[in-house]
Amino acid sequence: MTAPADTTWTVPATDAAPLESIRFQGLQAGPKLLVLGAVHGNESCGPKAIARVVDDCRAGRLLIARGEVTFVPVTNPKAYRQNTREGDRNLNRDLRERLQPLDNEDRIGRRLCALLREHEVLLDVHSFRGEGEPFVFFGPQDNTGPLEPFRHGAAELALAACLGVPVAIHGWLDNYVQIIAARERLNLPPLAVTEGFGTTEFMRFAGGYGVTLECGQHDDPASVEIGDTAIRNTLAHLGLIDAPAPAPALASVIQMTEVVICEAQGDRVAEGWKTGDRVPAGALLATATAKPGEPICHFGVASSRRPL
């Protein structure tokens, strides 16, 4: 039995609301997992899914036997209270430990980065505005290159594969480098590659690994179910609970290879396209609401990467 689908968190009516975290520590050794919800405040499936799992942990219906798991149901309280994507800016960009925070997301970032450093694995639960299948973002293969050096590629892909969603996508920072170059070509204010850093990028930087789960449309009740299943699958996959390891569910792995940039005010994606669609030659992709220099859509190709 699980808690009702509308069980969720409330936050104090102040911009100074603290981050609330709930931690369960197993009595045997195991990995340290961090689960985040509402990094973007209008994405409520994370808090609702986390509420269900926390309720089951507290009631003894779900037993954390090994390692530990920390839940942060509402990572951006100001944005969540406003039901907006951002408080002052996008928390999932330019995430770092600022010594002199300038805005709401800077202040959260200092605490959030410290939490990320304390853990080994991250599951960040999101949703999206348009139509499309749920999917998961994961990171690069093992490498020692300058952009995103990494050594947990196989483990991260295995985590992405266990969540229960059909599509996995990689290549975010490579495409972000293209955004930087396009802005330079358009004579727009420059960006640094670190401005493409969100929760998973910081987790990799700090020595761990993690994925971003996109559960479906913001207000679709099914997105809560997908988030709930993904959290429980992650607990089983990592061995934090005594449960069979979930079977890999990926039907498609996509490598992002190209990005379309807004070059004039009002450029936007044409109606009808959604994540994972195949694009035939000559199809209309964009028409003349993004700001110049912002990405409109990303292209990808079938990836050769598959879970072991």
Task: Quote the tokens at residue 116.
Answer: 């990320």
Q: For the chain, what percent of residues have pLDDT higher than 70?
A: 90
C-alpha distances out from residue 253 to 137, 167, 273, 276, Å:
10, 6, 18, 10
Give the C-alpha separation, 142 to 153, whole Å.
Answer: 5
Mean pLDDT of 284-293: 60
Rounded to the nearest 5 degrees, what angle is found at the Cα of 100, between the Cα atoms of 98 and 102? 90
Distance CA 203, CA 96 (A): 11
The helix/strand count (H/E) of the chain reads as: 7, 11
**Least confident among 113-117, 191-195, 279-283:** 279-283
Confidence at 51, pLDDT banded by 50, 70, 90: very high
pLDDT recorded at residue 288: 45
Higher pLDDT: 52 or 283? It is 52
Nearest to residue 294, comparing CAs of 129, 170, 179?
Answer: 179
Residue 199, pLDDT > 70, answer yes
**CA–CA distance, 68 with 283 (Å, rounded to integer):** 48
pLDDT score at 5: 47
Mean pLDDT of 255-280: 73
Mean pLDDT estimate for the chain: 91
* Top-ranked range on mean pLDDT: pick from 116-120, 267-271, 278-282: 116-120
Tell me the mean pLDDT in the region 209-231: 97
| Topology at the third CATH level for domain 22-256 | Aminopeptidase (3.40.630)
Q: How many percent of the chain have pLDDT more than 90? A: 80
pLDDT in tens, 81-124: 999 999 999 999 999 999 999 999 999 999 999 999 999 999 99
**Taking the CA of residue 69 as centre, how many other CA atoms within 13 Å lie in the half-sphere pointing to its CB?**
26
Bridge-based pairing state of the strands 167-170 and 252-261 = parallel
Alpha-carbon distance of 181 to 179, in angstroms, equals 5
- Is 263 a residue whose pLDDT tops 50? yes
For residue 256, pLDDT over 70 is answered with: yes
pLDDT at 270 over 80: no
DSSP 66: E
Per DSSP, the three-state class of 297 is strand
3-state helix, strand, coil in the chain (%, to 5): 30, 25, 50
Give the residue-averaged pLDDT of 165-192: 94
Distance CA 25, CA 68 (A): 4
How many angstroms separate the CA atoms of 21 and 123, rounded? Answer: 14
pLDDT exceeds 60 at position 283: no
